[in-house]
Amino acid sequence: MSLKMGMVGGGAGSFIGSVHRMAARLDGNIEVVAGCFSSKPEKSISLAKEYGVPRAYSSYQEMFEAESKLPEGERIDFVSVVTPTGGHYEVIMEALKYGFNIVSDKPLCITIDQAKEIYDKVKETGVEFCLTHNYTGYPCVKDAKNLIESGAIGKVIRVTVEYPQGWLMGLPEADRKSAWRFDPTKGVSFTMADIGCHAANLAEYITGMRIKDVCADLQSIIAAPLDDDGTVLLKFDSGVKGVLWASSVLSGELNGLNIRVYCEKGFIAWRQEEPNKMFVKYLDKPDEIFRPGDGSLGEFAQGFVRLPAGHPEGFIEAFGNIYDEFAKTLEAKKKGEVYKGDYPTVEDGYHLVRFINKVLESNSKQAWVSVD
């Protein structure tokens, strides 16, 4: 059984649109059959052709309308929303009117009010909703979560999560000025919204805890008036403390998301740039390195590995795991079965929009602020 996907956004120049298509197609169970890649009809058609997508639309409203009239089995099973963040709210709300299942890029939207509205509507309609915090798709991240859950290394006592990038320093000024990400009328935050939320999600996913309070110190080196670098002291709902920092202006950093989760008996360290290794260090025995395929990952995490040990999988494959779990959930639902896919949900999205906004509030007040 193959699922049918319609994409909104992801046109020319969109890195993330191309990633969503490769990820969706990787395992042969999702076909990209429709797309609105541009508001100009001829442009949307030519991009659709270039991307190998049969049905092109020039507005998402048109796409939802037309697709909803197609017979089941032909019409799209879900919408993939990869527009700039500022557009998510409207596209998602419109898709929900038609009852389409949804995959949305992160963050969910801009304001807490928008997020609450989306959350309520998703709950009301009962559609499946997946937010592509793709870093939770890596097998080693899943194994880290399981290792914590197992209790084998004790309770969490501290968390350090970092997301340094440096690309903004290399971006020509002209590009910066024209980009939606840096337009303060289209978003409240640059770096915390772009990558800080990934770091928060990663920490919450692995530990099973929620960030409850934040004390932030942000700065803006290039993206003024928006933040492009900042540190956040964290308190989780469990009482555990930690620190999260993210930056887009650190020349030399690439895509350096990494986390260390410290527990009573040892700690877990994982780095996105070398994703096929999970380090576990203990108080009183040799460090361990877990890797896909060599018998070290638990059964659940190993289930997300496509290749034998030592054959590196990367970003696209991890992203594909998010899509594949969403696909399995939809497929089960179509068959009247239940499969609870392992992917971020609208609850996560709502929470993380609050996180972003409260970090900004804390920074303004130079004080601790509660997230929820």
Q: Considering only residues 98 through 127, tell me which ones interact with a second copy, judged by CB under 8 A.
A: none
Q: Which residues, other chains included, contact 228 with Cβ-Cβ below 8 Å and sequence gap of 6+?
A: 168, 190, 191, 219, 220, 221, 222, 247, 248, 249
21 or 328: whose CB is closer to a second copy?
Answer: 21
C-beta of residue 220 within 8 angstroms of C-beta of residue 182: no
Tell me how far, at minimum, the Cβ of 117 lies from a second copy, in Å: 32
116 or 271: whose CB is closer to a second copy?
Answer: 271
Q: Which of 65, 117, 253, 331 binds a second copy (CB under 8 A)?
A: 253
Q: Considering only residues 201 through 220, tell me which ones interact with a second copy, judged by CB under 8 A.
A: 215, 217, 219
What Å distances lie between residue 124 and 96, 254, 332, 334, 335, CA to CA? 10, 40, 20, 19, 22
- End-to-end CA separation in angstroms for the chain: 41
Q: Considering only residues 217 through 236, tell me which ones interact with a second copy, judged by CB under 8 A.
A: 217, 219, 221, 229, 231, 233
Mask for 280-319, x = binds a second copy (CB under 8 A): xxxxxxxxxxxx-xxxx---------xxxxxxxxxxxx--
C-beta of residue 351 within 8 angstroms of C-beta of residue 210: yes
Dist. CA 372–CA 38, nearest whole Å: 37
> Comparing C-alpha atoms, which of 40, 49, 44 is closest to residue 10?
44
207 or 272: whose CB is closer to a second copy?
Answer: 272
By CB under 8 A, residue 336 contacts a second copy: no
Q: Which of 9, 196, 266, 341 binds a second copy (CB under 8 A)?
A: 266
Tell me how far, at minimum, the Cβ of 276 lies from a second copy, in Å: 8
Q: Considering only residues 14 through 73, tell me which ones interact with a second copy, judged by CB under 8 A.
A: 15, 18-19, 21-22, 25-26, 28, 51-52
Number of residues that bind a second copy (CB under 8 A): 83
The beta-carbon contacts of 50-53 under 8 Å, at least 24 apart in sequence, are: 51/21, 53/7
